[in-house]
Copies of this chain bind each other. A is one copy, B any other.
Amino acid sequence: MVRATVHDVARAAGVSLATIDRVLNRRGGVRAATIEKVEQAISRLDYRRDSAAAMLAKQHEYRLAFVIPTGVNTFLSNLAAEVRRLADVSRADRVSIAIVEVPPFDGEALADALKQLETQSLTGAAVVATDNSTVRQAIDRLVAQGVCVVTLVSDVPASKRAHYIGIDNSAAGRTAASLMGRFLRGEKGRVAIVAGSMLLRDHAERRFGFEQVLRTEFPDLVPLPVVEGLDNAAVAEEALGAQLDRYADIVGVYSLGAGNRGVIAALRKRGLAGKICVIAHELTAHSRAALNDGVFAAILNQDPGHEARSAIRILRALADGVAIDPGQERIRIDIYLRDNLP
């Protein structure tokens, strides 16, 4: 038995191709009785629209932009590299992707970049955003122009973005605390927290989740004030170093974003590498080496390849008005020990 086509359905229903198409795509302007006839024929013939033929005939073009803060941040460089790679293969599917790089921690620059996008008749944009009102307004303006906008890695929930693609950062913070609490079973002491910037929502949420679980479940572990590395290894190293020098009872470090190189250096210089329980975020060349050397106890990761693919799929689905598969798009909080490293 061979697949039924629109021609078969048209013949069976006694109508033309155009009418079949109107019913299939719910374009309206068809008598209820005719719709009924067509739907009968569809289910009788077990018809299913061929997606390749539909794609070809529709001549849709998807113009996408990815806005990514870049600098020395290895995770974001990896993400940009994945997007670049996918941009190349996606051309075969009529998807063109521009990567817009912006300076990190700079809401004004980001808002400017988004404003630039307004003139480019984009289908959609994926934005690794800082969360403040300037950025939120810039996102909402883009959406108002008819551009599908999704946030990537860090969310701006108050904006009109259609979707957020990234991990649940509070859950990630809670997971880090749970792991640290168990790994340090029976110990008492302070825990240092190194972030990139508290202006980043993802970092703020991780901290929130982490401290929440530490306070309620592991009261013997006392969090220190957060230290900000600002994507600068020297800054992170110095700030964590000052805490390490001041408090002799630091038993854990939560490196919740982009400060891994500084953390490693600060520990090594003081002979503390491997003696303090360190949980870090994002699997990069540096963090992987630290995990293998026993300097890090665990790494929480989000897969940049998955995030890039997911963003493209979701932006296309939004543009086409079709459903997405939530299971496929959920970005997992990967936990890596030395033993399950890819």
**A residues whose Cβ falls under 8 Å from a Cβ of B:** 3, 48-53, 55-56, 91-94, 168, 171-172, 174-175, 177-179, 182-183, 185-186, 209, 213, 297, 303, 305-306, 309, 325, 327-328, 330, 332-335, 337-340, 342
Pairs A-B, 9 closest by C-beta atoms: A52-B55, A174-B339, A335-B335, A51-B92, A175-B339, A333-B340, A175-B340, A305-B327, A48-B91
Q: How far is A185 from B339 in the complex, measured between Cα atoms in Å?
A: 18
* In the complex with contacts A334-B332, A337-B178, A340-B172, A50-B186 CB distance below 8 A: no
Q: How far is A327 from B303 in the complex, measured between Cα atoms in Å?
A: 9
Which applies to chain A's interface (DSSP): helix, strand, loop or mixed?
A: helix
For A175, A177, A297, A339, the residue with the greatest tally of chain B CB atoms inside 10 Å of its CB is: A339
A62 CB to closest chain B CB (Å) equals: 12
Contact among B171, B174, B339 for A171, CB-based, below 8 A? B339
* In the complex with contacts A178-B338, A183-B185, A339-B213, A56-B52 CB distance below 8 A: yes
A338 CB to closest chain B CB (Å) equals: 7
Contact among B56, B183, B209 for A56, CB-based, below 8 A? B56
A218 CB to closest chain B CB (Å) equals: 12
* In the complex with contacts A185-B185, A332-B334, A49-B340 CB distance below 8 A: no
A301: nearest chain-B partner, CB-CB: B332
In the bound complex, residues from chain B placing their C-beta under 8 Å from that of A48 are: 91-92
Contact between chains at B52 and A93 (CB < 8 Å): yes
In the bound complex, residues from chain B placing their C-beta under 8 Å from that of A327 are: 303, 305
In the bound complex, residues from chain B placing their C-beta under 8 Å from that of A178 are: 337-339
Contact among B56, B309, B335, B338 for A50, CB-based, below 8 A? B56
Additional 18 contacts, C-beta under 8 A, given A182-B182, A209-B339, A333-B340: A50-B56, A50-B94, A52-B55, A52-B56, A52-B94, A53-B56, A175-B337, A175-B340, A177-B339, A178-B339, A179-B337, A182-B297, A185-B186, A305-B328, A330-B342, A332-B332, A334-B335, A335-B335
19 pairs from A and B in contact (CB 8 Å cutoff):
A3-B94, A48-B91, A51-B93, A52-B55, A52-B56, A53-B56, A168-B340, A171-B340, A175-B340, A182-B182, A183-B185, A185-B185, A186-B186, A306-B328, A309-B328, A332-B342, A333-B340, A335-B335, A335-B337
Contact among B92, B182, B333 for A183, CB-based, below 8 A? B182
In the bound complex, residues from chain B placing their C-beta under 8 Å from that of A305 are: 325, 327-328
In the bound complex, residues from chain B placing their C-beta under 8 Å from that of A92 are: 48-51
In the bound complex, residues from chain B placing their C-beta under 8 Å from that of A56 are: 50, 52-53, 56
For A171, A213, A297, the residue with the greatest tally of chain B CB atoms inside 10 Å of its CB is: A171
Contact between chains at B328 and A335 (CB < 8 Å): no
A305: nearest chain-B partner, CB-CB: B327
A327: nearest chain-B partner, CB-CB: B305
In the bound complex, residues from chain B placing their C-beta under 8 Å from that of A182 are: 182-183, 297
Q: How far is A342 from B51 in the complex, measured between Cα atoms in Å?
A: 31
Q: How far is A337 from B213 in the complex, measured between Cα atoms in Å?
A: 13
Q: How far is A83 from B114 in the complex, measured between Cα atoms in Å?
A: 41
Q: How far is A48 from B297 in the complex, measured between Cα atoms in Å?
A: 46
In the bound complex, residues from chain B placing their C-beta under 8 Å from that of A175 are: 337, 339-340
